[in-house]
Amino acid sequence: MFGKIIGTGSYIPRQFITNEDLTNYIDTSDEWITDRTGVKKRHIMKDETTADMAVEAARKAVEQAGIHVNEIDMIIVSSVSSNVILPNTACYVQDKIGAVNAFCFDINTACTGFIMAYNTAQSYIDTGLIQTALIIGAEGLSKIVDWSDRGTCILFGDGAGAAIIKKDSEAVFDTVMHADGSMGAALTCDNGFAYRPRLIDETENKTMSQEEKNAQSQEGHLNQIQNTYVQMNGQEIFRFAVKQVPECIQELMKKMQINKDEIDMFILHQANSRILQGIAKRLKVSLEKIPMNVSEYGNTSSACIPILLDELFRTGELKEGDKIIMSGFGAGVTLAATYLEV
């Protein structure tokens, strides 16, 4: 038996940067960014952190679901850009919302992350291990983007989205998931740990002096700092998404023996509008069935899909009984398509 989404929530920082604002820092224009990506602005954290945004999105999802936090058996946070490594962000959320009965873990499958969290929750429900899960996509990408690199900084924004999934005898679930690590170099970001100085000098068999540590740190810093920001081969990612996402969705529909006309909505990772238009064209699906909010938020990686889901639920565009395919795709490379009924 699987679960149904019974509540969603999201958190968007108030502060935002428009395309026009960006022209003060980099050689670009509103026209170029809008034509190539569809992004008009991106919201950026100011006083909040990634973990704080996850907490706020979670609170709203719990409130909308109308459950008590003690009912939550599991919390999964998907993020590539959390401000905390230890404890994991899910444990941070558990503490802040008081979900004392939940066990907690984080996952990193980049922009596919929310779908992987959803699929993981469904698998735990199906095995009978849990009844209720809180899943969250939360990203503070503004902290890992190089704001002097016009090829990447124009694309990304910050935000968080969450959903509560509860065991339901009516729930329907199926999925297709893929990864291709050989394409990993197309989108990378180091955490910088490898460049930190060691505290000992093995060759001399002694601890390093402060000057030696500083020198090693600076050398590593100067050589490698760039790798701690998002590096992207935009055209390779574009080709991957436009070709492989429709194939993945078609594979799912074939597996389930359903066709695209039976699907009410395709809720896709909001990478950029040209990618979404390319996917629609290959699937031969009207853009009306592919909701977009990328112009307002940019690409918020694993937060894109839950933020969009929350908007669609709250505006009533998603209705009980609607048949949906969600699809996430991103760094790794990873991709997944998942079927659900509202």
- Positions in the binding site for ligand ACO (CB under 6 A): 28, 32-33, 36-37, 111, 150-151, 154-155, 187, 232, 234-235, 237-238, 241, 269, 271-272, 274-275, 299, 329-330
How does strand 323-330 pair with strand 173-179?
unpaired
The CA–CA distances, whole Å, from 127 to 102, 130, 229 equal 17, 8, 39
Any bridge partners for residue 41, and if so which?
Answer: 18
CB of 76 to ligand ACO, least distance (A): 20
- CB 192, min distance to ligand ACO, A: 20
Q: Which amino acid is at 17?
A: I
Residue number with CB closer to ligand ACO (131 or 233): 233
In the complex, minimum distance from the CB of residue 249 to ligand ACO, in angstroms, rounded to a whole number = 15
Q: Which residue is nearest to ligand ACO (CB)?
A: 234
Give the shortest CB-25-to-ligand ACO separation in angstroms: 11
Residue closer to ligand ACO, measured from CB, 72 or 326: 326
For ligand ACO, the closer of residues 13 and 157 by Cβ is 157
Tell me the residue length of the chain: 342
Cα dihedral 299→251→136→105 (10° resolution): -120
Interatomic CA distance for residues 303 and 81, integer angstroms: 11
Whole-number Å distance between alpha carbons of 91 and 77: 9
Which residue, 30 or 212, is less far from ligand ACO as judged by CB? 30
The DSSP annotation for 141-167 comes to GGGTS-TT-TTTTTTB-EEEEEEEEEE
CB of 230 to ligand ACO, least distance (A): 8
If the CB atoms of residues 33 and 97 are measured against ligand ACO, the closer one turns out to be 33
**Catalytic site residue from 19, 119, 272, 299:** 299
Does the active-site annotation cover 111? yes
User: Is 119 marked active-site?
Assistant: no
Catalytic hit among 43, 88, 91, 111 = 111
> Tokens at residue 59, please?
């609170």
For residue 137, give the H/E element and its range.
strand 132-140
43 counts as catalytic: no
Active site residues: 111, 269, 299
